[in-house]
Structure 1
Amino acid sequence: MAVLLSFLVSGLGQLYCGRPGRALLLVVVTVLLVPLVYLPTLVDRQAYGHFSWIFLALVALVIMRLYVMVDAWLVARHTGALRLRWYNRWYIYAGIALIGSALGLVTPFHSYSIPSASMAPALLPGDFVLTKPYWSDSRKPLVGDIAIVKHDGTFFVKRIVAVGGDRVQMIGGRLTINGVALPRDMVGNLRFNDVDMTLYRESLPDGRNYRIMELSDHEFLDDTAAFTVPLASYFVLGDNRDNSRDSRVMKEFGYMPAESMVARVLVVWWAKDWGRIGTTPE
């Protein structure tokens, strides 16, 4: 039981064994380690490109979590029969778990594999990404986020392009938000999966920009009806605009309600191209 509790929340197993001081020490160390993974992005969004930093930070977190679990097991062995104290109550543990999720004591990262090319060129098939669940995040999903979404029991990765109240339409391959076509600059051409594609850099109203791929501006989903996003919902697209099933396909996909937004993508932690390991998708 002590090991299981320590797996869920750092230090909780030690508290269960009647070692509150030890539990507090492990909590403090964990709280200090967690920000190491986020620190680069506070200075520079592209700082995750330094693979050594993300690798060392994650290794430190994994080692710390393993140490906490092993320590809980050793403490439980030496403690013997437990004498329940006032804090050995389920509601105390539940409260600590809730606080721990806010502080990052509960494992704050999830990993997903990318199975398709719908988010190319930002994410490629075979990539593994590290994500921050929105339930443990300090902010809501934002326009521009690359997000893991859950639809009909299946996880997808898409980019948020609009939120509740926005009007969205594709006109001649151009993404239009609230009647204004987003600026789009041609970057170059790309041979992708034996198909000639055109790369563009698309800019959001807040200045954030990212690359998208187009086969042409005359494909099936390049001209759509106008969609008004319901409140507490999101409109998501794939960056590979002519090879993505997304919110443009209303009958099969449609708007994403807030409860379908699972996590935002932070970093590529593994890729077939080693040069992309540790990079932050735009």
Structure 2
Amino acid sequence: MAADANKGNAVVETIKTVVYALLIAGVFRTVFFQPFWIPSGSMKDTLLIGDFLFVNKMAYGYSYASCPTIRPLGIDAKTLCGFLDGDNTRVMGSEPERGDVIVFRHPVNGTDYIKRLIGLPGDTVQMKNGVLHINGEAVKVKDDGIFVEPAAPQGPQGLRPRCENGPVGTGGDCMKSRQIETLPNGVEHAVLNIGNQSSDNTPIYTVPQGHYFFMGDNRDNSTDSRVPQQAGGVGFVPYENIIGRADRIMFSSAGRSMLAFWTWRSDRYLKGIE
């Protein structure tokens, strides 16, 4: 009887340990950091498909969007914390800075997006002939060579990159023009260009109070604030929809799975995000 009791106690203790571990992991994920695996090429070459990073949730305080979304389990941030939604405020909130790379919830469909913050509340933003204009002034841009990647399926979705020198056969060099863009606050970052398209010439967007304007660094391959929500884009993003700031890549997988360690990119371990 004593052996059975000890066995029963061991099972109970194991279950308690697992429950505690899950609770601690849940609190850590909700309060401090959220893992994020880059699924698309909209932020190349700052972020590549397969980059794995943690989003700093402490950077801007907390809102309903800080609650975890775990789609495979049907858990959504609004399901858990929807009672906090609607006032466009944050607890212990601080303002994001222009140029920050930020993860946010899409204002309509709730999908997590990662883009660069370009426009602050009250700003005007416009693209003219492929050059970004903020508050009527063109940002400084200088050429910085060519970004080259294989013309082959990338990541778990098998996405093929768009090429400035396309069409390019599988295995060939896919090239894009690379430039360094300097934002009004002095933040410098790389942008890629593929060719002339409608997103290179836009209307003037005036960012409403309490909202932000985001763009991808891979300018011709990004669904972002340049496209209104009613047209399937991102539009203006409310303050409360911000999840956190991306500061550093932990590791990066060039394969179909982040567990395929033999495909990890050796030059991206603990790489800072600029």
Return the TM-score normalized by structure 1.
0.62
Give deviations 1:76-126, integer Å, cap 9, x for gaps. xxxxxxxxxxxxxxxxxxxxxxxxx9xx99751111010000000010111
The answer to which structure has the higher helix fraction is 1
Between 1 and 2, higher relative CO (CA 8 Å, sep ≥ 6) is seen in: 2
Quote the residue 1:230 is aligned against.
208
Quote the residue 1:206 is aligned against.
185
Q: Of the two, which has the highest radius of gyration?
A: 1
Separation in structure 1 between the aligned mates of residue 118 and residue 42 of structure 2, nearest angstrom = 15
Q: What is the identity percentage for the equivalent residue pairs of Structure 1 and Structure 2?
A: 32
Say if 2:61 and 2:94, in contact at 8 Å, map to a contact too.
Answer: no
Aligned residues: 189
Separation in structure 1 between the aligned mates of residue 20 and residue 209 of structure 2, nearest angstrom = 38
Give deviations 1:196-246, integer Å, cap 9, x for gaps. 210000001111110010113x22200000000000000000000000000
Where do 1:265-280 residues align within 5 Å? 265-272=246-253, 273-280=265-272
Corresponding residue to 1:242 among 220, 236, 245: 220
Using the TM superposition, give the Cα deviation of residue 191 of structure 1 relative to its aligned residue in structure 2, in angstroms.
2.3
Separation in structure 1 between the aligned mates of residue 149 and residue 198 of structure 2, nearest angstrom = 19
Using the TM superposition, give the Cα deviation of residue 2 of structure 1 relative to its aligned residue in structure 2, in angstroms.
8.3
The answer to whether the aligner puts 1:135 opposite 2:61 as a matched pair is: yes
For structure 1, the 5+ residue unaligned runs are: 10-64, 66-100
Quote the residue 2:244 is aligned against.
263
Bigger drift between 177-186 and 259-268 goes to 259-268
> What amino acid is the match of 1:261?
I
Q: CA RMSD in A?
A: 2.4
Quote the residue 1:182 is aligned against.
139
Separation in structure 2 between the aligned mates of residue 175 and residue 128 of structure 1, nearest angstrom = 29
> What amino acid is the match of 2:249?
V
Separation in structure 2 between the aligned mates of residue 191 and residue 275 of structure 1, nearest angstrom = 15
3-state SS of the aligned residue for 2:203? coil
Return the TM-score normalized by structure 2.
0.63
3-state SS of the aligned residue for 1:221? helix
Separation in structure 1 between the aligned mates of residue 197 and residue 29 of structure 2, nearest angstrom = 47
For structure 2, the 5+ residue unaligned runs are: 1-14, 63-91, 152-162, 164-174, 254-264
Say if 1:8 and 1:106, in contact at 8 Å, map to a contact too.
Answer: no
